[in-house]
Amino acid sequence: MEEHTWHGPSPDEPFSRPRPSPRPYPAISEVSTRQAAASAVTAAVAAGTPSAWTVRPFALEDVTLGRGIFADKRQLMLDHARGYDVNRLLQVFRANAGLSTGGAVAPGGWEGLDGEANGNLRGHYTGHFLTMLAQAYRGTKERVFADRIGTMVGALTEVRAALRRDPAVLSVPGKFGTGADQVRGSYQYVDLPVTVLGGASAITLSVWVRPTHDANWTRVFDFGDDTTRYMYLAARNQAGVPRFAITTSGAGGEQAINGTAPLPLDQWSHLAVTIAGGTGTLYVNGTAVARNTAMSLTPAALGTLKNNWLGRSNYSADPVFAGAYEEFNVFSRALTAAEITELQSRRAADASTSRGDLASYAFDETTGGTFADASGRGLAATLRRTWGGPSHPGFLAAYPETQFIDLESRTSSDYTKVWAPYYTAHKILRGLLDAYTATDDDRALDLASGMCDWMHSRLSRLPESTLQRMWGIFSSGEFGGIVEAICDLHTITGKAEHLALAKLFDLDRLIDACAADTDIIDGLHANQHIPIFTGYVRLYDETGEERYLTAAKNFWDMVVPHRMYGIGGTSTQEFFKARDVIAGTISATTAETCCAYNMLKLSRTLFFHEQDPTYMDYYERALYNQVLGSKQDKPDAEKPLVTYFIGLTPGHVRDYTPKQGTTCCEGTGMESATKYQDSVYFAKADGSALYVNLYSPSTLTWAEKGVTVTQTTRFPREQGSTLTFGGRRASFTLRLRVPSWATAGFRVTVNGRAVSGTPKPGSYFDVSRTWRAGDTVRIAMPFRTRVERALDDPSLQTLFHGPVNLVARDAATEYLKVGLYGDAGLSGDLSHSLTPVAGKPLHFTLDGTEWAPFFEGTEDPTHAYFRRSEPKVVFGGRDSGVANPAKADGSTLLDEVWAGAPFRNKGALVARVRSTVDAWVSAGLLSRADGDKVVSTAGAASYRP
């Protein structure tokens, strides 16, 4: 029996690395000479990597994907990236800035205003999309991706400029002339002077509106001091119909008039309210729809009010009116029904009523931020935002700064109020940096730098205790990988404020515990914490502070293997659970896809400091299984078709359109599918070695050496790979990763000749020589079939064939019972129990059930885990007639026998059976008579290799 156990680097391993001076990050492209520190930065980038890195990655453009499963999956995402309308992503940004959205409809899910938790995460997906486009452009050089980046960066530049200014009129065609549009999501309203009602004891308020959203309690107008004294007209009350109310004693004292039907959306409607002689009447489109004959209150009773607003409520929780205004008139008398009817067909200026004598706004303005009053009283109105303006001109977001402000005093999580604003800022910042790296667009760099200037201006003023409280709040305080992005920016700008900003995200309790190798992550939100450690490794690069690197390494060891499922994923319902509890945490919401994405990033970044092959073994596991399997194998123009959770319960069907789209995992899924090649090859920092980490069809252009390396393989459908060298002669060591699962051998030939040495699974095998064009390296690594056991329940297992996790396709919702020992070979390989399916590589049948690679993105019900069931002791197909005994932990006699595989011959296997039987008999777990039958059967059986 071949088992596979994961061992991370020893927690007692010393960290004896030199303290580096801050050096630039190599993932950033050549820096523009127009930057202030251009010459220094360019020289540093050319120098290679941070001094703490002993290997460096290649840029995406240096590695070209060949035909295979990665290219196929990527093609689906590239097609999506080419076709999706980026104006839909920009809609929420433009709306927030009060700019025209051009009729674009924001995506669903988390990205639109109507998304989960009031759309409080909107803008994050745009950042992901920018990163995807940047990676796609770097990997393919197709101009369409650069053009789309340019469109988005240009739009975001306009958005930031608009946010810096006071709101400006957005003119649209009106009922008679022009109207003023209040774009939903702009949080804009019209502020009228305090004397607008003029203390009138009789009044008519007349207005044309075109609502664009059906939110309840949006105000057409609201005149008041607070929530005690006010007078409003709501476009919709809780029943969805217009409502007028006036009160001097709060909501309980409202004297109201309710309409009878909802106002139609996207159509002009005329509303009018009259009050005189104790009677109030509500008119809709010239018809009196409701009347209150017991109204004792008039505007005169309210006195002079400080808040006289169109589109905004004195109740702060009420939504802002979304839609357009035209012709708002206030008269100091009650118009007659005939006069109100007349206003349906002409402007007040052209009607017998003439303009309102208290106030009259035609909304004919097409520029500026004020509206002229034609009443003769000179009461010009001003366009404003409910949240004022940004605290710093670098602010850029798809929602107001209020989420960031609220977080600073918040003590508990409430994502309907504050949902990870710095997480969203990270996605935008990362997208802009990637856009700059890919296209050298200085606007993207300016936007990114401005965002960090703004964040520093906010966070640097806060006490340390406030920062620690903020970053410790679940969800609301989540900041993702922002530290990594800020460090990357710092290497370009060289601004001390940017490095200082990165350190303001230190979560000291977590850093110190992990640096001390104290496992406190049980119960933590997994994806809130995984990416911050990648950032802390980058802070180590920039500052030389050992605790950052030590904490990150120890954290990784706390996850792998202790909280890792077979496919490489982690978390249940988004949270880490207790250490070494795997079977006990399996559910329909295991393995959040973002967690796998971020664990890959962390593994990769740690590898730059220490070339422990365990990091790349994990990378292969998670990439070839969960990450590939999270992308559905079909095209879609509207959705990237990526999983959120991958449930590992029996019969689970993957959901590739979670929460109507645009979740965090769909964002990272877009990124994953456009950077599959990022860790296939690394170079030693001094150029003396080339690491081949993954066996993937690809071509590397190593410009510094003048060498190309073309890897030809169908791996993992092929059990090996071929490397062909081109270009100049160059001397270096080729370091080939020997996967930890490659226990059936790892053989290397160069130009047809075997390379001496004994490759060890879970290591690197070195081939040193002067390489010439035409040199060919052939690697053969036969796959074995093995199981991996859940750490807390050895009977719950998952099946692997080489690096590939195999899942049973079966609609049953209980764990399948599977036996595998009956035909096990001397090597311990379990593949003899499986029957290959003709014409379908990596597909097998077992007891009538098909087993297929996890990486296939289908909607078939699958079983990633099964119950191991070996009721009888069977060797080589011979049944001993003896029940397979088990220990208290669930491990069986056969488990213990086959744990000794591989066996050099039959005699070695029989000797193992005899010693195991003797031990179990001595322990009282097996009778001597049954033990003799077991040994006899083992000796009589025939075995495959």
How confident is the model at residue 704, as a pLDDT? Answer: 96
How confident is the model at residue 889, as a pLDDT? Answer: 87
How confident is the model at residue 887, as a pLDDT? Answer: 92
Instruction: Decide: residue 684, CB within 10 A, 0-12 exposed, 13-18 middle, 19+ buried.
Output: middle
Q: What is the DSSP string of 237-263?
A: -TTSS-EEEEESS-GGG-EEEE-SSPP
How confident is the model at residue 20, as a pLDDT? Answer: 32
Same structural domain, 192 and 150: no
Residue 2 has pLDDT above 90, yes or no: no
Rounded average pLDDT over 329-354:
97
Rounded average pLDDT over 601-605:
98
Tell me: the pLDDT tens digits for 242-265? 999 999 999 999 999 999 999 999
Residue 25 has pLDDT above 70, yes or no: no
Q: Are 450 and 160 in contact (CB under 8 A)?
A: yes
Rounded average pLDDT over 75-96:
97
Residue 263's contacts (CB-CB under 8 Å, 6 or more residues apart) are 209, 211, 235, 236, 242, 269, 271, 284
Tell me: the pLDDT tens digits for 753-771? 999 999 999 999 999 999 9
Instruction: Decide: residue 123, CB within 10 A, 0-12 exposed, 13-18 middle, 19+ buried.
Output: buried
Tell me: the pLDDT tens digits for 184-212? 999 999 999 999 999 999 999 999 999 99
How many domains, the chain?
4
Same structural domain, 344 and 406: no
pLDDT over 70 for what percent of the chain? Answer: 95
Ordered alpha helix ranges (H), 842-905: 893-898
Type of residue at 444: A
Rounded average pLDDT over 778-788:
97
Distance from C-alpha of 854 to C-alpha of 862, rounded to nearest angstrom: 9
Select from 803, 774, 768, 798 the least CA-distant residue to 625.
803
Same structural domain, 251 and 337: yes
Q: Are strands 370-371 and 230-234 parallel, antiparallel or unpaired?
A: unpaired
Residue 852 has pLDDT above 80, yes or no: yes
Rounded average pLDDT over 670-676:
98
Residue 824 has pLDDT above 60, yes or no: yes
pLDDT class of 54 with cuts at 50, 70, 90: very high
Token pair of 317 as six digits: 């929780």
Same structural domain, 362 and 425: no
| Residue 460 domain boundaries | 66-170+399-493
Q: Is residue 138 part of a domain?
A: yes
Distance from C-alpha of 262 to C-alpha of 243, rounded to nearest angstrom: 10
Q: Is residue 323 part of a domain?
A: yes
Crossing angle for the helix pair 69-83 and 124-140, to the nearest 10 degrees: 120
Q: Is residue 374 part of a domain?
A: yes
Q: How confident is the prediction for the chain on average, in pLDDT?
A: 94
Select from 514, 438, 456, 506 the least CA-distant residue to 477.
506
Distance from C-alpha of 701 to C-alpha of 63, rounded to nearest angstrom: 6
Residue 819 has pLDDT above 70, yes or no: yes
Residue 43 has pLDDT above 60, yes or no: no
Residue 472's contacts (CB-CB under 8 Å, 6 or more residues apart) are 507, 509
Token pair of 718 as six digits: 């092929």
Same structural domain, 381 and 403: no
The continuous run of DSSP H or E covering 381 comes out as strand 381-385
How confident is the model at residue 50, as a pLDDT? Answer: 84
Tell me: the pLDDT tens digits for 394-452? 999 999 999 999 999 999 999 999 999 999 999 999 999 999 999 999 999 999 999 99
Q: Is residue 747 part of a domain?
A: yes
**What is residue 334's three-state secondary structure?**
coil
Crossing angle for the helix pair 526-543 and 508-515, to the nearest 10 degrees: 80
For 383, 388, 680, the CA distances from 225, given in Å and listed in that order, are 19, 19, 65
Residue 4 has pLDDT above 50, yes or no: no
- Partners of 56 in beta bridges: 683
The continuous run of DSSP H or E covering 117 comes out as helix 116-119
**Among 493, 513, 529, which residue terminates a domain?**
493
Same structural domain, 76 and 150: yes
pLDDT class of 577 with cuts at 50, 70, 90: very high
Residue 830 has pLDDT above 80, yes or no: yes
Same structural domain, 381 and 422: no
Same structural domain, 439 and 484: yes
The CATH number given to whatever domain includes residue 710 is: 2.60.40
Same structural domain, 161 and 104: yes
Distance from C-alpha of 307 to C-alpha of 797, rounded to nearest angstrom: 66
Residue 22 has pLDDT above 60, yes or no: no
Q: Is residue 663 part of a domain?
A: no
**Among 468, 493, 518, which residue terminates a domain?**
493
Rounded average pLDDT over 34-53:
48
Token pair of 298 as six digits: 């008039």
Residue 910 CB neighbour total at 10 angstroms: 19
Same structural domain, 450 and 301: no
Same structural domain, 74 and 204: no
Same structural domain, 431 and 334: no
Residue 15 has pLDDT above 80, yes or no: no
Q: Is residue 368 part of a domain?
A: yes
Q: Is residue 129 part of a domain?
A: yes
**Among 493, 514, 535, which residue terminates a domain?**
493
Q: Is residue 479 part of a domain?
A: yes
Residue 48 has pLDDT above 60, yes or no: no
Rounded average pLDDT over 316-334:
97
How confident is the model at residue 108, as a pLDDT? Answer: 87
